Amino acid sequence: MPPSAEGESFGRYRLIERLGSGGMAAVWRAVVDGPQGFSRELVIKRVLPLRSHEPEFVQLLIEEARLSARLRHPSIVHVYELGQVGDEYYLAMEYVEGATLAALLLRCAAVGHPVPLGVTCFVISELAAALAYAHELRDADGRPLEIVHRDVTPSNVMVASSGGVKLLDFGIARAADRIRDERTRAGVLKGKLGYVSPEQADGLPPDRRSDIFALGVVMYECLTNARLFQGSGMDTLKQVREARVVPLTTRRPGVDRDVSAVVHRMLARDPKDRYQRCEQVVAALAPLVHRFQGDAGAVREFLKEIDPERAEHTATSIQLRVDDVIPVGAKRPAPVAAEPVAAEPVAAEPVAAKPVAAKPAAAKPVAAKRRRPGDRLLPWYVVAFAGGISLALAVVLVMVLHRSDAPRAPAAAPAAAPAAASAPVHLRLDGTADAEVLLDGKTVGRLPLALELPRLAAGATRALTVRRRGFRSVSRAIAADQDLELTIKLAARPAAPAPAHGPEIENPF
């Protein structure tokens, strides 16, 4: 049966939108209709026609359905049924309105907005709780199923527009008896190379501590907006085997030490040095979630900050990736980080600026490009391409600025001018206590703050952002060639109403 077009029927489902595909299956947003005009939106994961006649791939889908049917946790995407239309098998799955964590990280890189500590700790804690549930699951006779997800990656995490977190795709997870069978398949590594554990890279069977390592990689990337392990296939595998982890404080200066300690323990090379159970990860994160005010409301606020128009027009769709088994040594193009862009300024109380040494140049807000309502997050390859173009332009700009900084001999210039141009500038900031300060998209500390910065060319500016949970952020351009003293008082945000939680509605079909 050829792939259905959008709007066509597939059994009792209407296929609305194709969300993605891989070498094994295609994923569709669909609707199932009931009596009296009742309908329900869900996701259909179909085995591709080419694979439908291969018993091995059909068996994978059947096992995924059997395993997923046992998983009933609020932070795990539900699988409703396994079905067959003609000679095609499919899974009917829960539809989540939101975006993958991978898409959100790309957006954060594009706007120069790292994921807040509270949001990161909350998201990772929710995922750890979901994994703890799966790891401890038992069969009807009380025997441990010893489930290991083995594919904990940002593309397998959904962040709902409501602020919830969902782990999906247990498609390559296996119970202990299936793991033994797979050892005979030499040269094959399950999962994405940048997120496997060192023991998996060494060809050893994974256990729950492998999921903890992968979760640590995800947390590291949320905090740094950068891939931890990347390169060609073999180079990535080598990095994983050696567990080369740049200290978190190097990638994100000023990060809380307790947060850094949790991340680095999850990323220990020796499984014995990691947390042994996901319940321990949840316990370690609990005080951090509380300290940094991480909850579903913080997630919703974060989504508005990085994409305010999207938050107002929440007609978004799930973005699923269906990946094949990855042969060891397979090469994939390394992603290119997008060049940070200054965040769009938000209305707040006036910012009082008074120059210390000289009158600053007129500040002009640096605004991120606004997208039309309903637009989706850009695919990774579009952002990567744009990032490459931006990098090239940045190099040209640096060369131009370098030339403009070269000593010249204007008629009225004093003899000491070249030496003064190389002197650092001093920036003193005060205002709302403990507010986070970012310069050109990078966190540099919290208010009050005094900085010594390189002096840039005359007329050059830096993008300054000041933000704090519960307050409206302020973004503006400041002179980069003069000493400045700024007082920034953030305006408090109105409290968001608490979401109403009702009983979960089971699938009526």
What is the full DSSP assignment across 226-263?
Answer: S-SS-SSHHHHHHHHHHT----HHHHSTT--HHHHHHH
Mean pLDDT of 367-384: 41
Please pick, among 33, 151, 405, 440, the residue that the annotation labels catalytic.
151
Task: Extract the tokens encoding 472.
Answer: 């409206």
**Quick one: 262 and 281 in the same domain?**
yes
pLDDT at residue 270 tops 90: yes
So what's the pLDDT on residue 410?
Answer: 44
CB 19 within 8 A of CB 317: yes
| 3-state secondary structure (DSSP) of residue 136 | coil
So what's the pLDDT on residue 491?
Answer: 83
* Lowest mean per-residue pLDDT among 206-220, 227-241, 357-371: 357-371
Task: Extract the tokens encoding 393.
Answer: 């332009």
User: With bands split at pLDDT 50, 70 and 90, how would you rate the model's confidence at 170?
Assistant: confident
Most confident of 68-72, 330-334, 354-358, 361-365: 68-72
CB 163 within 8 A of CB 225: no
Place of tokens 């964590």: 101
So what's the pLDDT on residue 5?
Answer: 54
- In whole angstroms, give the CA distance from residue 214 to residue 217: 5
Report helix angle 380-405 to 101-111, nearest 10: 20
**Quick one: 310 and 363 in the same domain?**
no
pLDDT higher at 56 or 246: 246
The DSSP code for 410 is -
Place of tokens 């974060």: 302
**Quick one: 203 and 148 in the same domain?**
yes
**Quick one: 21 and 130 in the same domain?**
no
**Quick one: 128 and 252 in the same domain?**
yes
**Quick one: 88 and 103 in the same domain?**
no
Report helix angle 278-291 to 208-224, nearest 10: 30
**Quick one: 225 and 319 in the same domain?**
yes
Task: Extract the tokens encoding 145.
Answer: 């199923």
Provide the β-strand partners of residue 85: 88
| 3-state secondary structure (DSSP) of residue 321 | coil
**Quick one: 120 and 87 in the same domain?**
no
398, part of any domain = no
The DSSP code for 400 is H
So what's the pLDDT on residue 303?
Answer: 92
334, part of any domain = no
Domain count, the chain: 3
503, part of any domain = no
pTM: 0.60
**Quick one: 302 and 435 in the same domain?**
no
pLDDT higher at 378 or 270: 270
**Any idea what the CATH number is for the domain that residue 26 is in?**
3.30.200.20
The DSSP code for 24 is S
Provide the β-strand partners of residue 450: 428
Residue from 216, 75, 210 nearest 146 by CA: 210
| 3-state secondary structure (DSSP) of residue 391 | helix
| 151 classed as catalytic | yes
Domain of residue 76 covers 9-94
Q: How far is CA 122 from CA 119, 427, 493, in A?
A: 5, 33, 21
The DSSP code for 154 is G
Place of tokens 């600025």: 401
So what's the pLDDT on residue 324?
Answer: 28
Residue from 159, 122, 224, 259 nearest 441 by CA: 224
For the purposes of burial, counting CB atoms within 10 Å of the CB of 200, is it exposed (0-12), middle (13-18) or buried (19 or more)?
buried
Task: Extract the tokens encoding 32.
Answer: 């199932």
- In whole angstroms, give the CA distance from residue 119 to residue 99: 15
So what's the pLDDT on residue 485?
Answer: 83
**Any idea what the CATH number is for the domain that residue 295 is in?**
1.10.510.10
Share of the chain above pLDDT 90, in %: 31
CB 220 within 8 A of CB 197: no
What's the distance, CA 20 to chain centroid?
A: 18
- Residue 435 has φ and ψ, to the nearest 5°, of -70, 140
409, part of any domain = no
**Any idea what the CATH number is for the domain that residue 440 is in?**
2.60.40
